[in-house]
Amino acid sequence: MEQFNRFYLWGVDTKYRMGLYFSAAVFFKGLVNVLLRSWTVEILILLEMLLACFVFACLESAIFPYVKEWPDEGRGRRVALWAALANLIFIGCAWGLHWFPGLPGWGGLLLIVFLEWALAAMWYALKLRKKLDTAALNRGLRRFQNEAE
Amino acid sequence: MKITVEHAGVTENEVILRCPDLDEEMLGVLSLLRSGLQRLCVWDDSRQTTLLSPGEVVYCETVDDRVFVYTGQAVYQTALGLGELESRYGPLGFFRAGKSAVVNLHHIRSLASGASGRIQATLETGEKLIVSRRYAPLLRERLGL
């Protein structure tokens, strides 16, 4: 039962991540299509995007496990691996599976810049949250220590 | 003062003081009882026992089924388990940080948000101690967060 619960929690977390990446992918696909004056998105491309996002979310859960603790040491290597996999999967799929047909070369480069910016922004958000959480923890600690004195 | 010791099949030792008023004699008994309860009996390598004030304890940890008590200057052993230390001295700032450690919150210099919900505590001695993911929410609650 414990194994099932762990698997279930992993599934819930992974689906959240998958949903996050999928919504970003659909947003950019929709934006590009509108700019190219196309008002439809192929179902097959959506399914491919969903699958790619699921694979990336699974790999992310292996790099940064949700259900077990991982050491702070080697955090930089994990981040580098995560960013490399994101590039490999999303750029690889977009290029190999023709997610953006008719997009000029400079448009592709712009999408890659957006991807890098989004990855950096995501990591910055996590860092910011950690910084704010640390500040709140220390405020709470000082308050606790001062109250007891 | 009449002293009576009753042997009864109770689960926990109990001391009842009966008096019309809390006079100086009874206050003395009370303070003796309280100080006796709050002092932590420990021993060092040379088996010399000491009564430590809980405020002197920085943290406690279990190693090979033995409970070690660390103050800023020395290391002792105690017969109490981590659970007992936490329940007895919890109101004085003792907090369970993990399966094998209890830390005195008054001796933490700083806290840092860690990976996967853990919290890293830097103690006044400079040592670092990890509050596990299981106990981190309890620490937040204790700190009023």
CB pairs under 8 A between A and B: 55
Distance CA A62, CA B93 (A): 37
d(CA A126, CA A134): 12
**Maximal C-alpha separation, chain A:** 70
Who wins on pLDDT, B11 or B59? B59
Domain range enclosing A128: 2-148
Q: What is the DSSP code string of chain B?
A: ----------SS-------SS--HHHHHHHHHHHHHHHSEEEE-TT--EEEE-GGGEEEEEEETTEEEEEESS-EEEESS-HHHHHHHHGGGTEEEEETTEEEEGGGEEEEEE-GGG-EEEEETTS-EEEE-TTTHHHHHHHTT-
Residue A130 has its nearest CB partner, among B108, B113, B133, at B113
* Contact list, B107 vs chain A (CB under 8 Å): none
**For position A88, what pLDDT does the model report?**
97
User: Does this model's pTM top 0.80?
Assistant: no
Of B110, B116, B117, the CB nearest to A138: B110
C-alpha distance from A130 to closest chain B C-alpha (Å): 6
Cβ-proximal residues to A79 (8 Å cutoff; 6+ apart), any chain: A123
The residues, ordered by sequence, that sit 6+ positions from B67 with a Cβ below 8 Å of its Cβ are: B60, B61, B77, B78, B79, B80, B81, B82, B85
How many domains does chain A contain in total? 1
Residue range A73-93: average pLDDT?
A: 91
> ipTM of this model?
0.74
Which residue is closest to B133 within chain A, CA to CA?
A69
Confidence of residue A19 (pLDDT cuts 50, 70, 90): very high
The predicted structure's pLDDT at residue B142: 94
Residues in chain B within 8 Å Cβ distance of A141: 105, 108, 110-111, 143
Question: Sorting pLDDT into bands at 50, 70 and 90, what band is A83?
Answer: very high
CB contact under 8 A, B111 and A143: no
pLDDT, residue B135, reads 94
Query: Please, which pLDDT band fits residue B41 given cuts at 50, 70 and 90?
Result: confident
**Candidates B106, B113, B115; nearest CB to A137:** B113
CA distance B14 to A137: 39
Q: Answer whether residue B19 shows pLDDT above 90.
A: no
Average pLDDT over residues A41-47: 96
Query: Among all residues of chain B, which has the CA nearest to that of A143?
Result: B143
Cross-chain CB nearest to B93 (options A69, A72, A148): A148
Min Cα–Cα distance to chain B from A111, Å: 31
